Structure 1
Amino acid sequence: MRGGGDRITCGLPCFGMLRGMHSVGFDLDMTLADTRAGIAAVYDELSLRIGVPIDSAAVVARLGPPLELELANWLPADEIPAAAAIFRSLYPSIAVPATTPLPGAREAVAAVRRAGGRIVVVTGKNAGDAVRTVEFLGLDVDEVAGSVFGAAKGPALAAFGAAAYVGDHVADIEAARAGGAVSVAVATGPYRAGELREYGADVVLGDLTEFAGWFDGWRSAAAVG
């Protein structure tokens, strides 16, 4: 992964302008990557192995929280660690190859690169599978931080100097706030645009195909401001 950078705070009017660069954080599942088919397949296999019914369609309709939180919907607490270990052993061979980039994902990363910015992926997925997914998709990012959700993503965003954080979940709005970043919500996950806006996102996009245009305007506003 690439090296670090500095951050300055100038408040929302100039949208977190940085010294010489505009570093951006992205969530992974259903923001950059469509992981639904692969995750559903892993849950189906896990269900067979442990003999417990798991509705994989319901699971992938609410992607975002870490694995253990989802497993708590199906298993007693004392069975979760073993099930999580099985899930993670299956993930690289089943889920990663089934993952596809969401529309605009590569273009969004490229837009930040063109501006001389840096990119961090901050996700609830464990770091190993997150890195495998990013590498499989060929996304050019500097760092990956895993196993964090909601406001717990804030320290990673702040340490990286992310001026904006892009995600599909209302918890990603909380993450941006906790990290002192502009929250950019994309309506490609479990929440509609209106719900994301009502929750308090600073910016709401239909999907990442709209990101490059917004990002260019954001940089221009920061430069003028």
Structure 2
Amino acid sequence: MADLAPGAPLTVGFDLDMTLLDTRPGIKATYDAIAAETGVWIDSALAVTRLGPPLEVELAHWFPEERITEVADRYRAMYPHTAVPACLPLPGAREAVEAVRARGGRAVVVTGKHGPNARLHLDHVGIGVDALAGSVWAQEKGAVLRAEGASVYVGDHLGDITGARAADALAVAVATGPFGAEALREAGADVVLDDLTAFPEWLESHLLGEPTRSR
């Protein structure tokens, strides 16, 4: 687990879906539109309980392998119109990003979502970040976080904990996604927060060198 070296710039990574933003309504609408267009039934209510892994992982539950690339491309083309307008910041999201920047740090988003669509989401809700990397998942996130010099990664999914571990970064989990606090702790999160409203206070304590603890 990486500690912030004295004098080193602070960089905090954030996941997007169900960490910074509630994207479920728009994603559900996009799956419903894909189902209507293709004639293939998709349980969109179930699909939005499994956000985190790449789109292709979810599509594999509903389409044969030879159609996944085609359907994924169509989904991503629809997405700006069906999903982006419906997204909402989760409680504390703006304040969490601002807390990093107020302390002279960089806030970066590292997400499994298609990068251009992730950017549209952030622009739509008015959350500015210093860097964005899309289409990376689990251990792949670790390489991006290392390249960005992130010492903290904040996410809601077990795959985000894996990504933080791969980067030797502090794994801060928020219980706003598919996993509860206990499951996140059992998966190895260093810190578990109910949501991002607790993040600025935790960050202040972390930077003061106080013992890492959940809130």
Q: Which residue of 1 aligns with 2:112?
A: 124
Map of 1:188 onto structure 2: 176
- Could you tell me how far apart the structure 2 residues matched to 1:100 and 1:85 are? 24
2:136 equivalent in structure 1:
148
Looking at structure 2, the residues matched to 131 and 45 of structure 1 have their Cα atoms a distance apart, in angstroms, of 22
1:97-176 to 2 correspondence within 5 Å? 97-176=85-164
2:59 alignment partner in structure 1: 71
Runs of 4+ in 1 over 4 A off after TM superposition: none
2:16 maps to 1:28: yes
Q: What amino acid sits opposite 1:176 in the alignment?
A: A
CA–CA distance in 2 between the matches of 1:19 and 1:155? 23
- Deviation of 1:25 after TM superposition, in Å, equals 0.1
Is the CA contact 1:16–1:182 (under 8 Å) kept in the aligned structure 2? no
Name 1:214's counterpart in structure 2. 202
Task: Give the corresponding residue for 1:202.
Answer: 190
Q: Normalising by structure 2, what TM-score?
A: 0.95
Q: Find the aligned partners of 1:160 and 1:44 in 2 and give their Cα distance.
A: 36
**Which secondary structure does the structure 2 equivalent of 1:221 belong to?**
coil
Match of 1:80 in 2: 68
**Residues 46-66 of structure 1: CA distance to partner in whole angstroms, max 9, x if unpaired?**
000000000001010110001
RMSD between superposed Cα atoms in Å: 1.1
1:138 and 1:162 mapped to 2: Cα distance? 23
Rate the CA distance shift 1:217–1:55 in 2: closer, same or farther, 3 A: same
1:19-66, CA deviations, whole angstroms, 9 ceiling, x for partnerless residues? 353110000000000000000000000000000000001010110001
User: Does structure 2 retain, via aligned residues, the 8 Å contact 1:105–1:209?
Assistant: yes
Q: Distance in 1 between matches of 2:114 and 2:202?
A: 30
- How big is the shift at 1:18? 5.8
Assess, with a 3 A threshold, how the Cα gap between structure 1 residues 181 and 18 changes in structure 2: closer, same or farther.
Answer: farther
The equivalent position to 1:178 in structure 2, one of 136, 143, 166, is 166
Distance in 1 separating the partners of 2:24 and 2:190 = 27
Unaligned 5+ segments in structure 2 are 211-215
Structure 2 counterpart SS, 1:28 = coil
Structure 1 portions without partners, runs of 5+: 1-10
Letter aligned with residue 77 of structure 2: S
Does the CA contact (< 8 Å) of 1:21 and 1:115 recur in 2? no
**1:18–1:131 distance in 2 versus 1, CA, 3 Å:** farther
SS at match of 2:209: helix
What CA distance in whole angstroms lies between the structure 1 residues aligned with 2:5 and 2:153? 13
- Give the counterpart letter for 1:162 in structure 2: A
Residue from 8, 28, 42 that aligns with 1:40: 28
**Secondary structure, aligned partner of 1:217:** helix
